[in-house]
Structure 1
Amino acid sequence: MTFKTNLTRRALGALALGALALSAAPVAAQDFTARIGHLESTQQSRHVHLEKVAELVKERTNGAVEFQIFPQAQLGNQRQMTEGVQLGTLEATVAPAAFLGGFNPAVSVLDIPYLMPADPAAAQALREGPFGDALLASFDKRGVVGVAWWPNGMKNFTSNAPLDDIAAFADQKFRVMDSNILIEQFNALGASAIALPFGELYTSLQTGVVDGQENPLDTIQRMKFFEVQDYLVVSEHGAMEDMVLFNPMWWNSLPDEYKTVIQDTFNEVVPALTEHKAAAVAEALKVIGESDINIREASAEERTAFAEKMTPPATAAYIKRAGDEGEALIETYNANK
């Protein structure tokens, strides 16, 4: 036997042993990996509890499902992430419902003022009940799967003009997201609504392009809007909600038991998420309170008066936009609130 022949046989044997070793190697623990993109920072409630969900889901599926969380628009702006989930270039996103109205008009139901109950347990029952199921199902025809939805704070009014009572809103100009529902909300108060990009809001308040705006307290504090506003009313008139959206192909590749684990875990962490958000809001109010801004809390009677004025025209604008699908959602809501 020549040296060359011996060497060739040894090489072939090594290859055969290598192939045998590869075939006997265990399958990687992460059978299903999903990247989840979102817009908030790592300190904010959404990210903190996405990390918790990822930890629990991995544990409860014995490592078979792994979520990789990408905060702060690392994977693109919200539109890009939503389209990525639809196209399959991204497995999932947690998106503010307010950013999804152009993609799914039905979800704009959440723009209606005082739609969500003030009591956290009642609000979560609504999310997990027939109304929540119907709202999540509305994403099916848009090429994504709605798996759950999360609370992310309540909006409040600020302005450079007094907000002593409901009558004081007349003739003031407020910045809104581009939503006919929110425009009708302010029209009902005798105010004007101007749709402006969020990035322009601070300067617009500072220069008087608009008198006021609406946002959660932690956003008002973090974006320093209170520095260029004189009045704040803690009205909690509008819910900021997050929709958890998955790519259909990735979601449908999961065994049913893993789907159940994921949905249950997203819902399970809501009380802790709500508590974390409440702490952030309390801290924000403390910081805002150390400034010169005038702060008052709307009474229960005033909130009822706000709702009576704003809700009917906002609801009508929603149904006009979302059509029969929207009307059916409102009927489900009324039957289950």
Structure 2
Amino acid sequence: MTSTGRFRRQFLGIMGAAALTMTWVAPGLAADFTMKFSTPTINDLQHEWMKRYKEELEKRSGGRIEVQLYPASQLGPVNTVLEGMQLGTIEGTINPSEFYVGVDPRFQVPAVPGLFDSMEDARKKLNDPKARENLLNLGADKGIIGISLLVYGPQVIATRKDVKTLADLAGQRLRVLASETETGTITALGASAVPMPLNEVSAALQQGVIDGVSSVLDVFVSLRTNEVAPHLLRTELWYLNTIASVSKAWLDSLPEDLQKMVIETGKDLEQPMFERQLERDKANRETWAAKGGTSVELQGADEEKAQAAAAGVAKAFLDAHPEMKETYDLIKNGGSN
């Protein structure tokens, strides 16, 4: 055999061995588990949390878990996502606590008026170990496990027309979440409460189906609500808090070390996200004003009337639902020891 033939044979042998090696190791390059994570919002606290969670969990797991992000309801409305999580076809989601009311009615407790008086107070109470454990496990028997509790911000109302007093709210159709206390409080203020998925809100505002939205400023800025409803009424009668959760069926399918990473990563992000949200709230107010949005607070008798109405709704709700008492008391007394 000539030297050229020997070289050709050696070269083909080397290439063949390399191909076999590549075939052998390639499966190890792919993640062992995929985690599809959904949220109805985009470019806000929830979306930012998902991005940080993806980066941190993929790093901690050494790439064994791949986190895929689906903001802006790309996997469907919240109810569809929660059903998918219970079936194990969707692995994670992050939403305001009231969105989980269909899983367990007690998820609306964090939105009861008067429970918190500031973002710092909300963080302190929700970080209490007993309160935290209770909230994160409310949906466990329905196949949903909480992994992170985040303070979203105080409730405000964005409207199409300028609203400065309670009288201006009379008859206004305001989009709300699914909690009894929010619906009850908005109604007590003289407006009409209209439950509606977030992905339908912008069109509904543009078409005049609704006159305004009750939510948090972070959402309004990210969705550019000021372009349709530029007037902000800072009622701040309750605080919105958001919960990141995972499918129990999926979590149980993971090795023990990965289960621990999924849960611990969620908890470890809570404090840095809270600090980020405090800064974000200040920036949001500046952004809202810079883009032509107005902002007012209820004054004098109107403020007192609104506070009294919200307190009455909260009391009636708790009296009618004694099963909420344990969760309410744990949060109310959280961080006091």
Asked whether the 8 Å contact 2:177–2:196 carries over to 1, the reply is yes
Which position in structure 1 is the counterpart of 2:108?
108
Change (3 A) 1:265 1:195: closer
State the distance in 2 between where 1:161 and 1:26 align: 59
- State how 1:46-61 maps to structure 2 within 5 Å: 46-61=46-61
- Count, aligned residues: 317
62-71 vs 167-176, which moves further: 167-176
**Corresponding residue for residue 330 of structure 1:** 328
Q: Per-residue displacement from partner, 1:67-118 (whole Å, max 9, x unpaired)? A: 2323333322222211111001122222332322123211011332343451
Describe how 1:1-337 pairs up with structure 2 within 5 A. Answer: 28=28, 30-41=31-42, 43-120=43-120, 122-159=122-159, 163-164=163-164, 169=169, 173-196=173-196, 198=198, 201=201, 211-229=211-229, 231-290=231-290, 293-297=293-297, 306-317=306-317, 320=320, 323-336=321-334
CA contact (8 A) 2:123 2:274 kept: no
Q: Which runs of 5 or more residues in structure 2 are unaligned?
A: 1-16
Residue type of the partner of 2:236? E
* CA distance, structure 2, for counterparts of residue 74 and residue 198 of structure 1: 12
CA contact (8 A) 1:81 1:90 kept: yes
User: Match of 1:14?
Assistant: none
**What is the DSSP-based 3-state SS (H/G/I as helix, E as strand, rest coil) of the residue aligned with 1:115?**
coil
Report which stretch shifted further, 79-88 or 58-67.
58-67
Amino acid at match of 1:273: M
User: Which has the higher mean CA deviation after the structures are superposed, 149-158 or 171-180?
Assistant: 171-180
Cα distance change, pair 119–75 in 1 and its aligned pair in 2 (3 A): closer
Identity level (%): 23
- Using the size of structure 1 for normalisation, the TM-score is 0.75
Q: Distance in 1 between matches of 2:199 and 2:66?
A: 34
TM, length-normalised to structure 2: 0.75
Contact 2:38 2:81 in 1 (8 A): yes
**Deviation, structure 1 residue 134:** 1.1
Aligned 8 A contact 1:109 1:318 in 2: no
CA distance 1:69–1:128, shift in 2 (3 Å): farther
| Residue pair 2:103, 2:139 contacting (<8 A) in 1 also | no
Against the structure 1 CA distance between its residues 52 and 188, is the aligned structure 2 distance closer, same or farther, given a 3 Å change threshold? same
SS at 1:40's partner residue?
coil
Measure the CA separation in 2 of the matches of 1:196 and 1:53: 28
Cα distance, 1:136 vs structure 2: 1.7
- Matched position secondary structure for 2:174: strand
| C-alpha contact (below 8 Å) 2:72/2:199 kept by paired residues | no
Deviations 1:10-53 (A, max 9, x none): xxxxxxx9xx989x969837444322222333x33323332222
Shift in CA distance, 319/81, structure 1 to aligned 2, threshold 3 Å: farther
1:218-266, Cα deviation, whole Å (9 max, x unpaired) = 3334444434547423333333332222222221233444433332321
- State the alpha-carbon separation in 1 of the partners of residues 74 and 203 from structure 2: 26
